[in-house]
Chains A and B, each alone.
Chain A
Amino acid sequence: MGAVRTLAVGQLRRAPMRTAAVAGVLGALISLVVVFGVVGDAQIRGLSGALAANDADLWVLASGAQGALSASRVEPALLGTVSAVEGVARVAPIGEVSVGVRIEGGALVDASLWGIDPGSPAAPPVIDGSPASDQDQAVVDGADAYLGAVPGARLELVALPATLHIVGLTEGRRFASIPTITIPYTRWVEIVDALNPDSDEVFPTAFAVELEPAADPNEVAATISVAAPTLVAAPPGALAAELPGIDGLRSSFGTAALVALVAVAAVSASFPRLQVEQELRVSASIRAIGASPRVLARAHQLRVALLVLLGAILAAVLIGLAELLSPPRIPITLEVRALLTVTLATWAAAALAARRGLKALRALDPADILRAPA
Chain B
Amino acid sequence: MRLSTHIVWLELRRSPSRLVRPAVTLTVLAALAMVLASLVDTLDRRSTGVLRAVEADLVVFNVEARQQVLRSRVPRPATIGVGFVDGVHEVGVLSVVPTTVTHQGDQLRATLVGFNARTPAEPVRVLEGRVPTDGEPNIAAIDAALQRTGIEVGDRIILGGSLEVEVVGVIAEAMFLQQPTVWVPPEVWARTGARAFPERGYAETIVGIGLVEVQVGREPAEVAPDIVTELAEEDLDVEVVALRDALAAVPGVSAIRVTFGGLVALALGVVVLVSAGLALLQVDQDRVRNAELRAIGAGPGVLATTLLLRLAVTWALASAAGAVLAAALAAAVPPAVPLAVRPATLATIAAVLGMAVGVGGAAGLRRVSSIDPAEALGEPW
Contact = CB atoms under 8 A, between A and B. Distances in A.
A266 B197 contact: no
Interface string B39-75: 1000100110000000000000000101010110000
Among A36, A39, A200, A267, the one with the most B-chain Cβ atoms within 10 Å of its Cβ is A267
A266 B25 contact: yes
Contact of B285 (A24, A201, A260, A278): A278
Nearest to B65: A100
B28 A263 contact: yes
Contacts of B281: 271, 274
Contacts of A39: 259, 263
B43 A248 contact: yes
B225 interface: no
A220 interface: no
B6 interface: no
Contacts of B178: 244-245, 248
Contacts of A247: 336
A70 B98 contact: yes
Contact of B337 (A22, A200, A251, A260): A251
Contacts of B70: 70
A252 B285 contact: no
Given A67-B109, A263-B29, A25 B255 contact: no
B379 interface: yes
Given A263-B29, A270-B21, A256 B263 contact: yes
B31 interface: yes
A64 interface: yes
B28 A267 contact: yes
B252 A36 contact: no
Interface string A307-334: 0000000000000000000110110000
B215 interface: no
Nearest to B288: A373
A219 interface: no
A23 to B, nearest CB: 11
B333 interface: yes
Interface in B129-172: 160-161
Contacts of A58: none
B35 A100 contact: no
B36 interface: yes
Given A266-B25, A327-B258, A373-B292, A245 B68 contact: no
A32 interface: yes
A273 B17 CA distance: 12
B229 to A, nearest CB: 22
Contact of A373 (B71, B255, B280, B376): B376
Interface residues of A, number: 64
A302 B120 CA distance: 66
Contact of A251 (B21, B269, B338): B338
Contact of A252 (B66, B71, B260, B375): B260
Contact of A329 (B68, B255, B270): B255
Interface in A210-265: 244-245, 247-249, 251-252, 255-256, 259-260, 262-263
Interface SS of A by simple majority: helix
Given A66-B100, A199-B200, A256-B35, A98 B71 contact: yes
B35 to A, nearest CB: 5
A98 B201 CA distance: 18
Contact of B109 (A18, A29, A68, A100): A68
B321 to A, nearest CB: 12
Given A68-B109, A263-B29, A330-B259, A100 B66 contact: yes
A202 interface: yes
A159 B280 CA distance: 60
Contacts of B336: 247-248, 251
Nearest to A253: B260
Interface in A252-306: 252, 255-256, 259-260, 262-263, 266-267, 270-271, 273-274, 277-278
A158 B65 CA distance: 11
Contact of B251 (A176, A201, A273): A176
B22 A270 contact: yes
7 contacts: A43-B255, A73-B197, A98-B71, A193-B199, A196-B200, A200-B201, A245-B252
**Nearest 4 A/B pairs, CB to CB:** A374-B378, A199-B199, A71-B98, A266-B28
Given A43-B259, A260-B36, 20 more contacts: A21-B277, A25-B277, A28-B270, A32-B266, A35-B266, A65-B98, A158-B64, A159-B64, A193-B199, A201-B199, A244-B109, A244-B178, A245-B252, A251-B336, A255-B39, A256-B36, A259-B35, A263-B28, A263-B29, A374-B379
